[in-house]
C-alpha cells in the first residue's frame, strides 16, 4: 500500500513531512517498506507554498532485516528494503483521511490537501511530468487511478501525492529531518552554529549545510513549522552520525527520507529558441550584452544562440553569485541552468557553466607617428588619430591594444548554499 500526501502545510505552520511521521505512527501495525520519500516537484509552479515538496510512504509485510531510519517519541522507526505491499482498505483510507483532517493547515487559502492510497505504483511518467511541467489534476488523477483518493478544498494536492508516489529514482539523496517538541513550535530555534560548521566539515557526504560568507545556517528553516533542522547527504549511514555532532534543543522525533533533492531532475535540456514559461532548462548560448545590475540588486545579461536572444537574471538573494555573473563579457560561451519566468520573460539562473572565454582587448596607447616618434592625438570619438607635429593621420585600429586578463575562469559556478533550489544538483555532487 502506497500512501501519498501533499499540500497540507502553510507558511504559517505545519509541514507535510511531519504528517508523514504521523502516518508512520498511525500505521504501526504494518511494516514500512523503503524509506519514506520526500519528493520535490516543479519549482516554478505559481501556487507552491515553499519548496513544492510532497511525500509518499509504502506499507506492507517487510522481507529481510529492517534498518533503523528514525525515532518518534523515543521509539525506533525501522523500514525494510523490500516487502509485499498491503492492499489498501476503506478502513486504512478512513484513518489516513482523519490524520489530514486533524493536521492540515486548512485556514490558509493556498492549502489544498490531497491524499491517495493505492496498491499499484502510478506510472513514472506522472512524476516526470510534474517535476518538469505544470500539470492538471484531472488527467493526472485519471491516469494514476488510485484505489482511494481525496482532495480537500480545490484538491490540488492530489497532483503532488500522485507524482511523489510515481517517483522511481534515477538519482537520489537522503535528508534527515529532526522535529521540535510541539510546545516549541513557532518559537526561536536553538542550534549551535559551531557544531553545524563542525558537522559540515567532518561529514563530507552532506551538502547545503552552512553558508560561511553569509553566516547562514541553511539546515534550519525560518518558518514556524515543526522542523528543527534538515540535513542532506548522499550516504544514509553518514546522516545517522550528524545528530551526534549537531548541538541543538531536543528533537522530539527524526526520520531519514529518501529524496530527489539535488538531482537536477527538473532540468530539461533545451534551446533558447523554444523556451516554455514555468519549466526549468539547460540552454547554451553566447553572451551578447555586458551584465548590468538593475533596481533591487538583480543582475541581468543576455545570451543568444545565433537565432534568438534571451535575458538571464541572477536575483539578489543569490548574493555573491551575482558578482561572478558580472564578470561575464560579450562573446563568452556558457550553459545556463534555470527556471523560465513568464513575466518578465527571463531565465532565473540556478547555476552556469562557462565553456569558453572571449578574448577581449583594450586600448593601452594611441598610435605612434612613425616619422615624429610621438604618440598621435585623438581627433574625436571613432574618428581616428592625428600627429600634432606633422599632421599625419591614422585610423582607430592603429592604436595599441593588449588582451585583457580575464577575472573569470572556465568551469562551473553556483549560488551560495542558502539560495539554491532543492532540486538543483550542487556542484559538490558532480
Ligand atoms: P513544502 O512546503 O512542503 O516544501 P510547498 O508547500 O511549497 O511544499 P505545496 O504546499 O505542496 O508546496 O503546494 C504545491 C501545490 O502544487 C500542491 O497542491 C501540488 O499538488 C501542486 N503541484 C505540484 N507540482 C505541480 C505541477 N507540476 N503542476 C501543477 N501543480 C503542481
Looking at the CA of residue 129, tell me the nearest atom of ligand 1.
Answer: 27
Q: What is the pLDDT of residue 49?
A: 79
Q: 395: CA distance to ligand 1 center in Å?
A: 62
* Nearest CA residue ID for atom 18, ligand 1: 157
The closest of 176, 128, 135, 175 to 45, measured between CA atoms, is 135
Q: 47: CA distance to ligand 1 center in Å?
A: 7
CA–CA distance, 220 with 120 (Å, rounded to integer): 36
In this structure, the answer to whether residues 49 and 150 fall within a common structural domain is yes
CB 180 within 8 A of CB 136: no
CB 285 within 8 A of CB 334: yes
Which CATH number goes with the domain that contains 120? Answer: 3.30.70.2200
Q: 41: CA distance to ligand 1 center in Å?
A: 7
What is the pTM for the complete model shown?
0.94
In this structure, the answer to whether residues 187 and 311 fall within a common structural domain is no
Q: What is the pLDDT of residue 325?
A: 86
CA–CA distance, 285 with 335 (Å, rounded to integer): 6
Start-to-end C-alpha separation, the chain: 35
Before 344, cis peptide (omega within 30)? yes
In this structure, the answer to whether residues 190 and 239 fall within a common structural domain is yes
In this structure, the answer to whether residues 176 and 276 fall within a common structural domain is no
In this structure, the answer to whether residues 149 and 226 fall within a common structural domain is yes
Q: What is the pLDDT of residue 324?
A: 85
Q: What are phi and psi of 148, to 5 degrees?
A: -125, 140
Domain range for 397:
361-403
Whether 10 is in the pocket of ligand 1, judged by its Cβ within 6 Å, is no
In this structure, the answer to whether residues 105 and 253 fall within a common structural domain is yes
Torsion angle (degrees, nearest 10) of CA 188, 194, 195, 198: 150
Pairing of strands 346-356, 411-413: antiparallel
Whether 42 is in the pocket of ligand 1, judged by its Cβ within 6 Å, is yes
Q: 7, 106, 151, 177: which to mutate for ligand 1, most atoms within 8 A of CB? A: 7
Q: 48, 154, 230, 276: which to mutate for ligand 1, most atoms within 8 A of CB? A: 48
What does the mean pLDDT of the chain come to?
96
Whether 70 is in the pocket of ligand 1, judged by its Cβ within 6 Å, is no
Whether 256 is in the pocket of ligand 1, judged by its Cβ within 6 Å, is no
* Nearest CA residue ID for atom 17, ligand 1: 157
CA–CA distance, 11 with 273 (Å, rounded to integer): 37
Tally of structural domains, the chain: 3
* Nearest CA residue ID for atom 12, ligand 1: 52
Helix (H, G, I), strand (E, B) or coil at 419: helix
Looking at the CA of residue 6, tell me the nearest atom of ligand 1.
Answer: 11
Of the residues 219, 239, 259, the one at which a domain ends: 259
In this structure, the answer to whether residues 349 and 221 fall within a common structural domain is no
In this structure, the answer to whether residues 141 and 229 fall within a common structural domain is yes
Per residue in 182-206, pLDDT (tens digit) is 999 999 999 999 999 999 999 999 9
Write out residues in the chain with pLDDT < 50, as ranges: none
Q: What is the pLDDT of residue 117?
A: 98
Q: What is the pLDDT of residue 236?
A: 98
CA–CA distance, 341 with 45 (Å, rounded to integer): 10
CB 10 within 8 A of CB 112: no
Looking at the CA of residue 133, tell me the nearest atom of ligand 1.
Answer: 27
Which CATH number goes with the domain that contains 346? Answer: 2.40.50.1010
Q: 94: CA distance to ligand 1 center in Å?
A: 23
Whether 138 is in the pocket of ligand 1, judged by its Cβ within 6 Å, is no
Q: What is the pLDDT of residue 153?
A: 96
In this structure, the answer to whether residues 418 and 372 fall within a common structural domain is no
In this structure, the answer to whether residues 151 and 243 fall within a common structural domain is yes
* Nearest CA residue ID for atom 6, ligand 1: 49
Whether 327 is in the pocket of ligand 1, judged by its Cβ within 6 Å, is no
Helix (H, G, I), strand (E, B) or coil at 300: strand
Run of H or E including 132: helix 125-132
Whether 141 is in the pocket of ligand 1, judged by its Cβ within 6 Å, is no
In this structure, the answer to whether residues 167 and 220 fall within a common structural domain is yes
Whether 53 is in the pocket of ligand 1, judged by its Cβ within 6 Å, is yes
Q: 112: CA distance to ligand 1 center in Å?
A: 9
Q: 11, 41, 261, 268: which to mutate for ligand 1, most atoms within 8 A of CB? A: 41
Q: 23: CA distance to ligand 1 center in Å?
A: 19
- Residue 135 CB neighbours (<10 A): 18
Looking at the CA of residue 112, tell me the nearest atom of ligand 1.
Answer: 18
In this structure, the answer to whether residues 191 and 325 fall within a common structural domain is no
Amino acid at each position: 500500500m502506497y500512501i501519498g500526501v501533499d499540500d497540507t502545510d502553510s507558511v504559517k505552520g505545519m509541514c507535510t513531512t511531519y504528517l508523514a511521521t504521523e502516518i508512520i505512527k498511525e500505521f504501526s501495525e504494518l511494516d514500512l517498506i523503503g524509506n519514506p520519500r520526500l519528493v520535490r516537484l516543479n519549482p516554478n509552479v505559481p501556487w507552491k507554498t515553499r519548496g513544492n515538496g510532497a511525500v509518499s510512504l509504502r506499507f506492507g509485510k517487510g522481507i529481510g532485516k529492517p534498518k533503523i531510519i528514525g525515532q518518534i517519541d523515543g521509539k525506533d522507526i525501522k523500514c525494510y528494503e523490500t516487502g509485499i505491499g498491503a492492499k489498501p482498505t476503506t478502513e486504512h483510507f478512513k484513518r489516513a483521511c482523519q490524520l489530514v483532517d486533524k493536521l492540515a493547515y486548512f485556514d490558509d487559502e493556498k492549502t489544498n490537501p490531497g491524499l491517495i492510497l493505492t496498491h499499484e505504483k502510478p506510472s513514472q511518467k506522472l512524476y516526470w511530468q510534474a517535476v518538469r511541467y505544470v500539470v492538471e489534476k484531472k488527467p493526472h488523477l485519471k491516469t494514476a487511478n488510485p484505489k482511494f483518493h481525496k482532495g480537500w478544498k480545490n484538491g490540488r494536492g492530489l497532483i503532488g501525492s500522485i507524482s511523489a508516489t510515481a517517483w522511481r529514482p534515477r538519482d537520489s539523496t537522503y535528508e534527515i529531518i529532526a522535529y521540535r517538541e510541539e510546545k516549541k513550535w513557532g518559537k526561536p530555534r536553538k542550534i549551535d552554529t559551531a557544531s553545524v560548521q563542525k558537522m559540515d566539515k567532518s561529514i563530507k557526504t552532506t551538502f547545503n549545510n552552512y553558508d560561511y560568507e553569509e553566516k547562514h545556517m541553511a539546515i534550519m528553516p525560518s518558518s514556524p513549522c515543526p522542523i528543527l533542522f534538515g540535513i542532506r547527504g548522499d550516504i544514509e549511514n553518514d546522516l545517522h552520525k550528524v545528530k551526534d555532532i549537531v548541538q541543538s534543543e531536543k528533537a522530539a522525533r527524526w526520520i531519514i527520507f529518501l529524496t530527489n533533492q539535488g538531482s537536477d531532475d527538473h532540468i530539461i535540456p533545451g534551446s533558447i529558441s523554444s523556451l516554455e514559461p514555468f519549466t526549468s532548462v539547460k540552454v547554451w548560448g553566447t553572451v551578447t550584452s555586458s551584465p548590468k545590475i538593475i533596481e533591487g540588486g538583480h543582475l541581468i545579461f543576455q545570451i543568444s544562440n545565433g537565432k534568438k536572444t534571451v535575458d538571464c537574471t541572477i536575483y539578489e538573494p543569490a548574493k555573491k553569485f551575482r558578482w561572478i555573473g558580472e564578470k561575464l563579457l560579450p562573446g563568452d560561451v556558457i550553459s545556463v541552468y534555470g527556471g523560465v519566468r513568464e513575466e518578465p520573460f527571463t531565465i532565473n539562473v540556478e547555476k552556469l557553466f562557462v565553456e569558453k572565454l572571449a578574448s577581449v582587448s583594450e586600448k593601452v596607447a594611441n598610435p605612434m607617428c612613425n616619422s615624429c616618434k610621438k604618440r598621435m592625438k585623438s581627433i574625436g570619438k571613432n574618428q581616428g588619430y592625428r600627429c600634432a607635429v606633422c599632421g599625419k593621420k591614422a585610423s582607430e585600429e592603429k592604436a595599441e591594444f593588449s588582451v585583457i586578463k580575464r577575472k573569470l575562469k572556465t568551469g562551473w559556478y553556483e549560488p551560495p548554499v542558502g539560495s539554491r533550489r532543492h532540486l538543483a544538483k550542487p556542484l559538490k555532487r558532480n
